[in-house]
Structures are given as structure tokens and as C-alpha cells.
Amino acid sequence: MRKKIVAGNWKMNKTYSEAVPLLYEVKDLLWKSKKGESVIKIIIPPSLYIHDFYETTKGLKNIFIGAQNCSYEESGAFTGEISASMIKSVGGSYVLIGHSERRSYFKETNEELKRKTDITLAHGLHPIFCVGESKDKRESGEHFKVVESQINESLFHLQPGNFKKVVIAYEPVWAIGTGLTATSTQAQEMHHHIRSLIEDKYGRILAEETSILYGGSCNEKNAAELFACPDVDGGLIGGASLKAKEFVEIIQAIPQ
């Protein structure tokens, strides 16, 4: 049975003095209600905070800390980069790879993301691999082709044992930070397409075990409808993860 997951990507937000109280507020709200306890909850703060967040949440059920990016190099003269081994050493468990902002602003290619996936897995971390199409590609009917290419070129070289450690996040680029959201029908259609690609490559069992998250202006108001889709296994949450009450409500919207 595949895991239900809600991951909060804090992006480049919150000073340390702002971030710590937010984390504690999320913890307190989750502890008080207990609803959503079986959901895998991943907090992905700025990398400076990973170790402290790990220490704060250590031992709590189904709460993990992730990184927003990592280098595809092991170590060396790469000023400003953070390696997978560093992330692992401070308590990180997951790494976002291929977020649309990294693809767009930093021009990350499918080949580079393939290398990041490999090094992340080599250090015992779980990639949350992001795929998605632009507004132009959606309107021209090329959205399935775009996502298929991203998965083919960055993930389908993996052996089944490694692929099963990957979480996929579908984030339509046109719905990130725009207030627009894919309809539940659009989300289900793409998630089903992704699962079908995995089944064609690795077989039905592995396809059914792969968690596929929706990311793209998911909030406490639309989460329940999106999460009710049979192939949507949770969410990669941006802005709403910076508001404790909203984030917890999204977690609690996962069907139990």
C-alpha cells in the first residue's frame, strides 16, 4: 500500500527566529488533534535549519525533515553548494529535486537532475522528484509529453529497488504561486498518466506502490477534493505550509 504524504516546502522564507515558533505551532496542532497521524509529514525548510528541525522533531511519529536542493557532486570546490552527505549528516531524510523554480531560475536540465537523483539515493535519502508543464505546453496539448520526457530522462534509468524510494510530485508550473489550481480532473488525469508510465516501465506492483503528490496552489480549501482522487497520494505544499493551521488542515484532509 502506497504512503500518503504531505510535504511543506518553505522555500526561501522565514528567519530562524520566525521559523522555530512556526515549527512548534505545527507540532502542537498535530499533537492536539492526532488526526492525520498516519500521514507522512515532511518539513522542508531552508537548509540552515535542517539540523535544529531534525532535533526538534526526532522521535515524533511520521515527521521527517527534508532539503530543498542538493549538489550532484560528492564534495569539492563548489562554493555555496550543499552535498547529499551533508544533508544526511544533519538529519535530513528527503530532498526536493527538479522543482520548477530550480528548472526555471537556475536552468537545471534533466541530465543534471538525473545526477542529483543518483547521488541522493546513494546517500540513503529519498528524492521528491518534481515534474510539470508550463502554461504554453498545457495549452498546446503537450503536457503529457513534457512530463513523460522529464521522467524518462531523469528517473527511468533506475533499478526497481532504487525507484521505489522515489516520491514524485506533479506541479503544473502555471499553478505555482499564481493562485490557479489544476482541477481535480486535471490532477487525476496527469497522476494517472504518470502511474501508467511507471507501470509500463516497472510493472503494476511498483506503480501501485509509488506515491505521487500534487503541488500547485494546494490549500486547506481544495485539498480534500484533490486528495480524494484515486491517484493523488498527498501534496507538495508551498505558501500554505508557512501557516501552521492551514498546513495541518491540509494534512488532515488526507482520507484516513
Structural contact between residues 244 and 41, judged by C-beta atoms closer than 8 angstroms = no
DSSP helix/strand/coil, 132: coil
- Chain centroid to CA 190: 16
The one catalytic residue in 99, 126, 143, 191 is 99
- DSSP β-bridge partners for residue 131: 170
DSSP helix/strand/coil, 183: coil
37 noted as active-site residue: no
- Name the one residue in this structure whose C-alpha cell is 507522512: 40
171 noted as active-site residue: yes
How far is 221 from 219, CA to CA, in rounded Å? 5
How far is 87 from 92, CA to CA, in rounded Å? 5
- As given in the structure block, the three cell numbers for residue 25 are 505551532
Look at residues 5, 39, 38 and name the one whose alpha carbon lies nearest to residue 213.
5
- DSSP β-bridge partners for residue 130: 169
Look at residues 94, 98, 69 and name the one whose alpha carbon lies nearest to residue 176.
98
How far is 25 from 243, CA to CA, in rounded Å? 9
Integer angstrom CA distances of residue 182 from 167, 215, 229: 20, 9, 12
DSSP helix/strand/coil, 125: coil
The one catalytic residue in 101, 112, 133, 171 is 171
How far is 65 from 117, CA to CA, in rounded Å? 17
What residues are annotated to the active site?
99, 171
